[in-house]
């Protein structure tokens, strides 16, 4: 694991050299494949070092981080084209990747907390530095305060665990006997805000709408998964408390998912619609996690990977339209099929993945999440039915509204997609649909 870390750190000087934009991107691709093959084809899966290690959950999320960061550089070509401090931009992406890599591969709870908080800073810089509207300052403050406020109790909880069991090494964490409400809330609140759970989700649509395409991709692709990853790790010690209190979160996340889906149906902003849809998806992930069943854990992990690829691809599509028309409004982005007929195919493919159509990975994960929730209590069927219906409804609304209809008369020119953009969408879509053929690592890891 350290060799990958060194490779990333030594890439940083390249960022500031002239004409090295695509070189950095290609090097990151190389490091991604090196990491993938060293783990999959190695003798031992663990890759354990003194403070870094990698199990199946970590492996999936580290691969996702690498993949999304490479595609971020591919998508942000306009930063390079207009020379908008592109060296510093690459540097930010690399620092973010290093922090995410450390977050997912560390074996110590305190180190995890450190990197978990650290990944906030480069994201904030991406939003403040390369965002589009002046409101990005407000969005940055929202992001910072929501996350920091909820995660300070987590630090206290970690110190308490260390005092009790004098170790923070993941495999050595002991089950807390008895259900302590305060300790339980301290340990999971930070992750619920990061997920984001309904009621504390307000920072997410704001941050998404103001962020540049790369910021949106990394937010939807990886940063929302930090919450789920944290929960998967801490629930090992919170089983007793979980059995006592988890029903509250299941209720909030399912009802919240339905309400957010209704909010999606009246959005006029492409990015806001996709951002709210990811709140609805993370609601069902949270519901599955909170049932604390085998199906729920596997399904939520799989949906985290699937949603990361799918949502990120949709943000790329929204950005492609934004670069052509200078607007994210659905009233202006109408009839895109006339301008970019081949892009309509990608809109269709990624939208169908978003509503969990076969053969996408979303389908596999949603089936297993439905299983876990209905097995936990059949009352959840009501909300799940609404959730599934509305998620199909707002995805169809997004697709049909942006592709069909009469073209906005104010448009004077529009170019077709570049090869780079088709490659970018292809690299989002292919893993999303091919991973279902090899889904054992995703579903059989406990």
Closest CA to 73 of 124, 37, 22: 22
DSSP annotation string for 37-101 = HHHHSSS-S----SSB---HHHHHHHHHHHHHHHHHHHHTHHHHHTTSSHHHHHHHHHHHHHHHH
Contact assessment for residue 406 and residue 333, using Cβ atoms and an 8 Å cutoff: no
Mean pLDDT, rounded, of the chain: 92
Q: Of all residues in the chain, what percent carry a pLDDT higher than 90?
A: 77
> What is the rounded distance in angstroms from the CA atom of residue 439 to the CA atom of residue 5?
27
Please report the pLDDT score of residue 416 as a whole number.
Answer: 84
Low-confidence winner among 164-173, 240-249, 284-293, 357-366 (lowest mean pLDDT): 164-173
pLDDT digits (tens, 9 = 90+) for 94-122: 999 999 999 999 999 999 999 999 999 99
pLDDT digits (tens, 9 = 90+) for 228-262: 999 999 998 999 999 999 999 999 999 999 999 99
pLDDT digits (tens, 9 = 90+) for 6-15: 999 999 999 9
Please report the pLDDT score of residue 64 as a whole number.
Answer: 96
Please report the pLDDT score of residue 43 as a whole number.
Answer: 63
Residues 6+ apart with CB under 8 A from 303: 281, 284, 285, 288, 362, 365, 366, 369
What range does the domain containing 161 cover? Answer: 1-443
Please report the pLDDT score of residue 242 as a whole number.
Answer: 92
Number of domains in the chain: 1
Q: How far, in whole angstroms, is CA 98 from its chain's centroid?
A: 16
Closest CA to 116 of 241, 281, 233: 233
Whole-number CA gyration radius for the chain: 21
Q: What are the beta bridge partners of residue 52?
A: 106
Sign of CA dihedral 320, 323, 327, 331: negative
Tell me what the mean pLDDT of segment 380-395 comes to. Answer: 96
Contact assessment for residue 217 and residue 68, using Cβ atoms and an 8 Å cutoff: yes
């Amino acid at each position: 694991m350290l060799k990958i870390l060194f490779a990333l750190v030594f890439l940083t000087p390249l960022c500031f050299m002239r004409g090295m934009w695509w070189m950095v991107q290609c090097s990151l691709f190389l490091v991604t494949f090196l990491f993938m093959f060293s783990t999959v084809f190695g003798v031992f899966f663990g890759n354990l070092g003194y403070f870094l290690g990698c199990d199946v959950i970590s492996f999936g999320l580290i691969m996702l981080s690498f993949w999304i960061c490479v595609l971020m550089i591919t998508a942000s070509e306009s930063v390079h084209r207009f020379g908008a401090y592109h060296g510093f931009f690459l540097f930010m992406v690399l620092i973010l990747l290093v922090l995410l890599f450390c977050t997912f591969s560390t074996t110590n709870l305190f180190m995890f907390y450190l990197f978990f908080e650290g990944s906030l800073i480069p994201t904030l810089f991406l939003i403040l530095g390369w965002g589009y509207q002046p409101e990005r300052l407000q969005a940055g403050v929202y992001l910072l305060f929501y996350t920091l406020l909820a995660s300070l109790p987590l630090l206290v909880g970690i110190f308490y665990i260390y005092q009790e069991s004098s170790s923070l090494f993941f495999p050595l964490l002991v089950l807390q006997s008895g259900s302590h409400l305060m300790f339980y809330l301290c340990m999971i609140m930070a992750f619920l805000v990061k997920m984001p759970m309904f009621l504390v989700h307000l920072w997410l649509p704001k941050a998404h709408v103001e962020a540049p395409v790369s910021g949106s991709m990394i937010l939807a692709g990886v940063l929302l998964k930090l919450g789920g990853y944290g929960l998967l790790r801490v629930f090992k010690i919170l089983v007793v408390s979980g059995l006592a209190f988890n029903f509250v979160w299941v209720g909030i996340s399912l009802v919240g998912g339905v309400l957010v889906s209704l909010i999606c149906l009246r959005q006029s902003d492409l990015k806001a619609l996709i951002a709210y849809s990811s709140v609805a998806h993370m609601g069902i992930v949270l519901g599955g996690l909170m049932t604390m069943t085998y199906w729920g854990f596997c399904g939520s992990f799989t949906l985290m990977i699937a949603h990361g690829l799918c949502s990120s691809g949709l943000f790329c599509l929204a950005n492609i339209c934004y670069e052509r028309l200078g607007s994210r409004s659905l009233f202006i982005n109408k009839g895109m099929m006339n301008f970019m007929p081949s892009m309509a195919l990608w809109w269709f493919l990624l939208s169908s993945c978003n509503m969990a159509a076969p053969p996408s990975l979303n389908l596999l994960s949603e089936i297993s999440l439905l299983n876990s929730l209905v097995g936990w209590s059949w009352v959840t069927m009501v909300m799940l039915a609404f959730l599934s219906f509305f998620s199909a409804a707002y995805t169809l609304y997004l697709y049909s509204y942006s592709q069909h209809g009469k073209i906005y008369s104010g448009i004077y020119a529009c170019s077709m997609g570049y090869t780079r953009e088709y490659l970018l969408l292809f690299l989002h879509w292919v893993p999303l649909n091919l991973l279902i053929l090899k889904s054992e690592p995703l579903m059989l890891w406990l």
